[in-house]
Structure 1
Amino acid sequence: MADCYIGIDSGTQSTKALVIDGASGRVLGSAARKYDLIAGLPTGHMEQAPQDWIDAIQQTIPEALKTAQVSPEEIRAIGVSGQQHGFVPLDAAGEVIRPAKLWCDTSTQAQCEQLISGMGGLDALIRTTGNGMPPGFTASKILWMKENEPDHFRRLAHCLLPHDYINYWLTGIMAMEPGDASGTALLDVRTRQWAEQVMRLIDPRIPSLFPPLRASHEVLGPLRPEAAQALGLPGSVLVSAGGGDNMMGAIGTGNTRPGVVTCSLGTSGTIYACSDQPIVDPQGEIAAFCDSTGRWLPLLCTMNVTVATEYIKELFGLDNRTLTSAAEAVPPGAEGLLLLPYFEGERTPNIPDGTGVLLGWRRQTNTPGHFARAAIEGATLGLNYGLNRMRKLGITPTEVRLTGGGSQNRLWRQIAADVFEAETVCLETAEGAALGAALQAVWAFENRAGHAGRSIEQITDDLVRTDEATRCHPRPEHQAVYRAGQALHDEASRALRDEFFLHHRTAL
């Protein structure tokens, strides 16, 4: 009988479940279910019913087991990856009080400013927790409830994050782990302890509403009988601590030791690295997260990556193949056509009023190929702005592991290697967060009480496989072009920040 494990990735748009063989890491089966945000809310409010996540799990796990042709008795443990930062409020009976406000909810800017001011400014907050307080993080959502929904706030007895709520449904145990907890803006990331001073700014009783912190390698507990029955699994199946999607994505891409960097080329983009010590950015541009292996996960997020190429495809009537071939016909640097891809505003650097800007648009560059190449290069230079900030904070990338839709583009992989000045490579398994959750479950099961199994580094070395056919090496002959392009990109971004604000006030 094989030892098999389940990884769950509960995201904003869908839940995915996969079953892996713990000996080989091979994905045996998977399933997914989509769901929606709650419609009709005011601008900036992004909410979801936690029951949607539970319904999706009850559908996807049995389906994944069926496609894997695995007996339920072969499942040893489950790991959960969840969207970060969301606020799931529970009453004293453990029932959800209201829909969860999600990471993408921007309705709490006033509460962020109030909490930052209460701490004595951003510098003081970063000294206390290691992070700033953007609206996406959890803390301001709790204050928003207190100020806008006092009846709900009076009922509030427990504060959980999305993956914590799923773990609670699975096991009946309320707990948090440091990786996901570091995205609340309420954790001192240096010590992995709650920053109670910040908590009490929200309300004096907030410290008592958060569950205990559990180490990332620990088993949370076995399935409770009702969950086991609903999923068709034995009650002996264990549940690991789980974590946020970025933390699980790091495990799923083998990013468990310094030097490896993960870069997601999706609609938005993220770059994160593994560090043996906390990386705190005094400027607050790089998020100072803990990871879910006992280390730290400095992370940057940009809001506009494949959105840039999607706009170009729409503008010129291209598909992925014709966009790539058109861009490949244009030399590096797109003959001076440079894109600042701030279509939806930008998070890193923090330019909420930003828009897309083209420099160097002239007759020579007025072709689909130039626009296509400028889109890929501009989005990558935007990510490299943050990667260079990481370098200044002590991160030295030796290999960048690419995920997301953009990583499927052969030209984009090479441009990323050239711009990042590091080798890039994709993974054999695309579902990094779900795989990471399953691998954390392997780690927890093998090292449960009374047992001494593999380290998480050994597990990822054994079970995470790169797709060597996708590996790209930086080309020295293109470094001068992209270094000059990076300098111009950074300077144009700085120079236009006041103009973005003025444009937003007068034109939008």
Structure 2
Amino acid sequence: MSKNLFLGLDLSTQQLKAVIIAEDGSVVHETAVNFDRDLPQYETKNGAIHGAGRGEVTSPVAMWVEAMDILLERMKKEDVELDSIMAVSGSGQQHGSVYWSNDAENLLSNLDAQNNLLSQLCPNAFSIAQSPIWQDSSTTAECEELDNAVGGSQAMADLTGSRAYERFTGPQIAKIRKTNPKGYEATARISLVSSFMPSLFMGKIAAIEMSDASGMNLMNVLTHKWDDKLLTACGGPSLRQKLGEEPAHGGTILGKVSQWWVKRWGFNPDCVVAPFTGDNPASMVSLSTLGDAILSLGTSTTLLLDIPPSHTAPARFTTSHLLAHPTSTTAFLAMLCYKNGALAREQVRASHAESHWHIFNERVEARSPGNGGYMGLYFPLIEIIPPNVHGNFFFKHGKPISEAEFPAEAHPRAILESQFLSIKARIAAILPKDAPRLRRLILTGGSSQNETIRQLAADLFGLPTYVAETKEAAGHGGALLALYAWWKEKNGGSGTFEELQDQLGGSMKLVASPHDDVTQIYDKIVDTYVSCEEQVVSLA
């Protein structure tokens, strides 16, 4: 193994994963604990527990603590050189929150190396045993109240980067304060899942990192500071103290591992702890650099934009998210999330390509870019972007037509073009006018392996298109954040993440290059698509 190693942890919904990289960025070890399989006593399903209340979804915080104990035991048995780990960082499922008791700081700072974390922290370190997670949708009333407190959903998006969402941490805190006042009163500090983990490593409660704080509806996304009006609306006058200091910047160092890690597991006493971020920002760190777009073509469709610094801030919308950047104080991440991804594509494949991808691909390629003026918008699930639309809608040259008038062989190309045109239109709206042009498109998810989809994406977006060789993007991104903080300190506090990436090289494979003449065709029909979508929304 390399002399210097860097540990990235990813606490996702279903598992706790460790990814260890060497100083050159190469992955040297991976270990995981699956919650359902390895910790069945907590009776989770896919890592979560659905509560009695409508939309309530939580995870036991004790399960996460015990998973950390098991993970370290496995790493030790697998002969990982823990004393060679120079820095630790990672990622957590976004929006989830952990509630520390008044005894937590004392318990964390006085851990006995003869005993594990679970026996010393649970239950006494936590005021609330079940942590609300991103799947929770029980806070609709709190979201409405929070939006109204700042002048509406667009005002909230302008301030925090997103309108109030049920899964976001601010509305979750507001609900706990309302429905469990004793638990809230007994809470000394509140962490995100991402700041909960470095707290275990340092033996004291860690600051929340600014990119992950963007998913709380509590931070001003432009200044990276807590907003007092939102804090008061969600948690009253005590919430600022419960959240602690202002959000931490990526690439900084929070502290060193506590003596418990040194004595129990043999960690290097000089091993530093960097801020942990959310899973989406960590994936960006692993997969992209400034000016990249990541398009995840999974069950849902998610676009992440790595927006370089510019003189004007990116636009904020009620249907998208703007986040602070995990490695830069002047750059941003933008995120679009669509429900109807692979499900819609697979339905078209089933109904118009005999359920075979090779037939689907043949029918896409048999029709010219722009599909002869035919557009189809497909929403088998109630969509988020555009909001609340449901069903299939068909157009020719921007005018509505019936499905019977729509050529059967046009559906495969139509589903791809409409999904990608929706994204293309919104990229143009989000990016500042003076922002540099996007550099490349990176595809992930199941459909990223489809060569026809790769080429259509390259042509429509007009970007060279890559796929990543990294499969555990969030954990790998966490390890890179650890390396970055250590590398930056070694350089006297100077150096950008992009400079480090240049030294490491990449793990991207170019899979499609755009044809300029085809891209021009798509550029000309973006406005037509927008008109069709507006007509669909007017019917919703």
> Normalising by structure 2, what TM-score?
0.81
Paired residues of 2:57 and 2:133 also in contact (CA < 8 A): yes
Per-residue Cα deviation, 1:394-415 (whole angstroms, up to 9, x for no partner): 5431222222333222222222
Paired residues of 2:322 and 2:335 also in contact (CA < 8 A): no
51 and 409 in structure 1: CA distance in 2 versus 1, 3 angstrom threshold: farther
102 and 330 in structure 1: CA distance in 2 versus 1, 3 angstrom threshold: farther
Q: Aligned letter for 1:354?
A: V
267 and 464 in structure 1: CA distance in 2 versus 1, 3 angstrom threshold: farther
408 and 9 in structure 1: CA distance in 2 versus 1, 3 angstrom threshold: farther
- The reply on whether 1:117 has 2:148 as its aligned counterpart is yes
User: SS of the residue aligned with 1:219?
Assistant: coil
Among 276, 287, 309, the alignment partner of 1:242 is 276
Per-residue Cα deviation, 1:446-479 (whole angstroms, up to 9, x for no partner): 2338845753112222225143342x22223323
Q: Which protein has the larger Cα radius of gyration, Structure 1 or Structure 2? A: 2
467 and 283 in structure 1: CA distance in 2 versus 1, 3 angstrom threshold: closer
- The reply on whether 1:14 has 2:45 as its aligned counterpart is no
Shift of 1:177: 1.7
Shift of 1:118: 1.8
User: SS of the residue aligned with 2:195?
Assistant: helix
Among 248, 255, 261, the alignment partner of 1:221 is 255
Quick one: distance in 1 between partners of 2:461 and 2:432?
14
- The reply on whether 1:274 has 2:312 as its aligned counterpart is no
- The reply on whether 1:478 has 2:522 as its aligned counterpart is no
Quick one: distance in 2 between partners of 1:190 and 1:362?
49
Aligned to 2:239: 206
Quick one: distance in 2 between partners of 1:314 and 1:79?
43
Shift of 1:377: 2.8
Among 531, 534, 540, the alignment partner of 1:491 is 531
Which stretches in structure 1 are left out of the alignment for 5+ residues?
501-508
Which stretches in structure 2 are left out of the alignment for 5+ residues?
36-45, 105-124, 396-402
Shift of 1:113: 1.3
297 and 392 in structure 1: CA distance in 2 versus 1, 3 angstrom threshold: closer
Among 345, 361, 365, the alignment partner of 2:407 is 365
487 and 164 in structure 1: CA distance in 2 versus 1, 3 angstrom threshold: same
Q: Aligned letter for 1:428?
A: E
491 and 434 in structure 1: CA distance in 2 versus 1, 3 angstrom threshold: same
Farther-moved stretch of structure 1 (225-234 vs 92-101): 225-234
Aligned to 1:299: 334
**Counterparts of residues 98-497 of structure 1 (less than 5 Å):** 98-126=129-157, 128-174=159-205, 175-202=207-234, 203-212=236-245, 213-227=247-261, 233-255=267-289, 257=290, 259-268=291-300, 269-277=302-310, 279-295=313-329, 296-303=331-338, 304-312=340-348, 318=355, 323-325=360-362, 327-334=364-371, 338-349=375-386, 351=387, 353-359=388-394, 361-362=403-404, 365-367=407-409, 370-391=410-431, 394-395=434-435, 396-448=437-489, 451=492, 454-470=495-511, 472-483=512-523, 485-497=525-537
Per-residue Cα deviation, 1:68-108 (whole angstroms, up to 9, x for no partner): x6422222222111122222222222333042222332221
- The reply on whether 1:45 has 2:56 as its aligned counterpart is yes
321 and 43 in structure 1: CA distance in 2 versus 1, 3 angstrom threshold: farther
Paired residues of 1:173 and 1:221 also in contact (CA < 8 A): no
26 and 184 in structure 1: CA distance in 2 versus 1, 3 angstrom threshold: same
41 and 476 in structure 1: CA distance in 2 versus 1, 3 angstrom threshold: farther
Quick one: distance in 1 between partners of 2:364 and 2:31?
35
92 and 425 in structure 1: CA distance in 2 versus 1, 3 angstrom threshold: same
Paired residues of 1:286 and 1:298 also in contact (CA < 8 A): no
Percent identity over the alignment is: 24
Superposition CA RMSD, Å: 3.0
Aligned to 2:110: none
> Normalising by structure 1, what TM-score?
0.86
Shift of 1:248: 1.5
Quick one: distance in 2 between partners of 1:234 and 1:317?
59
340 and 119 in structure 1: CA distance in 2 versus 1, 3 angstrom threshold: same
User: SS of the residue aligned with 2:508?
Assistant: strand
Quick one: distance in 2 between partners of 1:383 and 1:127?
20
Shift of 1:495: 1.6
Quick one: distance in 2 between partners of 1:130 and 1:40?
29
Quick one: distance in 2 between partners of 1:63 and 1:312?
45
Q: Aligned letter for 2:477?
A: G
Shift of 1:433: 2.0
Shift of 1:219: 1.8
User: SS of the residue aligned with 2:280?
Assistant: helix
